């Protein structure tokens, strides 16, 4: 209990990392609910890896002499640009192929994941000068978050949360009943691209901050848990967000308490929450049948 109180004290040395983790844990499930709603959960596995490959590619271009931004900000901005572009392009391509019914969804996602993982490693190998910095970005070092990175995380994920809440009606409409939306004259393609851009930004920035594993966990596990105990889109989104936030808090506490790596600890806590919800539903079903 003392450690938990210390975590929220103004003198806590890792308070920026704690608050950034909480914000990511609260916001990523708001994005992940649409992966679950559109039955694109498998993309939650591939997209963080694709985003990481985009970061590696951006650093590879930097090594070849391509400079797009001011020098003092170039590394971070190029990494974010490459990460977003790779994630959004892959998401659009995979969803388009799925809507056209070409191939097996799991097969495409598996091949994409393998290709992205291989490409990321090759881009890192081709960039020996920035290898240590690049590997740090790909792992995600939330415990070493600087003040500028902290405020950037708050700003980006705060904006994503506002967009997801304000545009929820449109996103839900084109996700759940696409044919009716087209009949009513909705610009479905534009809304899809808007949603994919937000998903890509959430994944790209999160991969740079906390790493691919934790982003995958926050995108998929809290929405899957919330889906089992809620009805309706608003309860689904709110409960998923709360589960993500609680998971981030408990995971951070356990990580400090027992000196565990933060990302795997958060994902393990989220999986335990999901398992408890499934077990509770199973037990209630047995009781009702009895």
Q: What is the pLDDT, as a whole number, of residue 137?
A: 55
User: What is the 8-class DSSP label of residue 231?
Assistant: -
The DSSP result for 61-100, as a single string, is: HHHHT---S-GGGHHHHHHHHHHHHHHHHHHHHHHHHHHT
- What digits encode the pLDDT tens for the residues 148-186? 888 888 999 999 999 998 998 888 888 777 777 777 777
- Cα 255 from chain centroid (whole Å): 20
Q: Is the pLDDT of residue 17 over 80?
A: yes
Mean pLDDT of the chain: 82
What dihedral do alpha carbons 249, 255, 261, 263 form, nearest 10°?
A: -10
Domain ranges of the chain: 2-289
Closest alpha carbon to 84 in 59, 41, 47: 47
pLDDT at residue 136 is higher than 60: no
Which residues lie below 8 Å from residue 161, measured CB to CB, with a gap of 6+?
Answer: 26, 27, 30
Would you state the CATH architecture of domain 2-289? Orthogonal Bundle (1.10)
- Going by pLDDT thresholds of 50, 70 and 90, the confidence category of residue 264 is confident
Q: Which residue from 143, 114, 133 is spatially nearest to 265, judged by alpha carbons?
A: 143
Asked if residues 215 and 206 have their Cβ atoms less than 8 Å apart, the reply is: yes
User: pLDDT by residue (tens digit) across 87-134?
Assistant: 888 888 877 776 666 556 667 777 888 888 888 778 877 766 555 555
Rounded Cα–Cα distance for residues 44 and 61 (Å): 26
More confident residue, 262 or 251: 251
In Å, what is the CA distance from 56 to each residue of 8, 48, 112, 139, 147?
35, 13, 16, 12, 24
């Amino acid at each position: 209990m003392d450690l938990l109180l210390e975590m929220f004290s103004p003198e806590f040395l890792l308070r920026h990392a704690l608050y950034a983790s909480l914000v990511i844990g609260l916001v990523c499930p708001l994005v992940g609910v649409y992966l679950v709603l559109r039955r694109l959960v498998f993309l939650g596995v591939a997209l963080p890896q694709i985003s990481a490959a985009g970061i590696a590619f951006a650093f590879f271009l930097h090594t070849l002499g391509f400079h797009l931004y001011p020098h003092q900000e170039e590394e971070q901005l190029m990494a974010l640009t490459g990460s977003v572009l790779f994630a959004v392009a892959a998401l659009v391509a995979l969803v388009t192929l799925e809507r056209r019914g070409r191939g097996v969804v799991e097969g495409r996602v598996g091949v994409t994941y393998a290709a992205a993982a291989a490409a990321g490693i090759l881009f890192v190998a081709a960039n020996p000068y920035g290898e240590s910095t690049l590997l740090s970005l790909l792992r995600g070092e939330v415990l070493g978050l600087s003040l500028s990175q902290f405020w950037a995380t708050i700003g980006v994920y705060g904006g994503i949360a506002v967009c997801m809440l304000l545009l929820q009606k449109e996103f839900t409409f084109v996700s759940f009943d696409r044919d009716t939306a087209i009949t009513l004259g909705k610009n479905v393609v534009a809304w899809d691209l808007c949603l994919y851009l937000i998903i890509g930004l959430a994944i790209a920035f999160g991969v740079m901050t906390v790493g691919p594993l934790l982003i995958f966990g926050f995108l998929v596990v809290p929405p899957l848990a919330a889906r089992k105990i809620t009805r309706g889109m608003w309860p689904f989104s709110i409960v998923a967000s709360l589960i993500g936030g609680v998971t981030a808090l408990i995971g951070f506490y356990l990580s400090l308490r027992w000196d565990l790596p933060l990302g795997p600890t958060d994902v393990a806590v989220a999986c335990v929450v999901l398992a408890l919800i499934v077990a509770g539903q199973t037990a209630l079903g047995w009781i009702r049948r009895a």
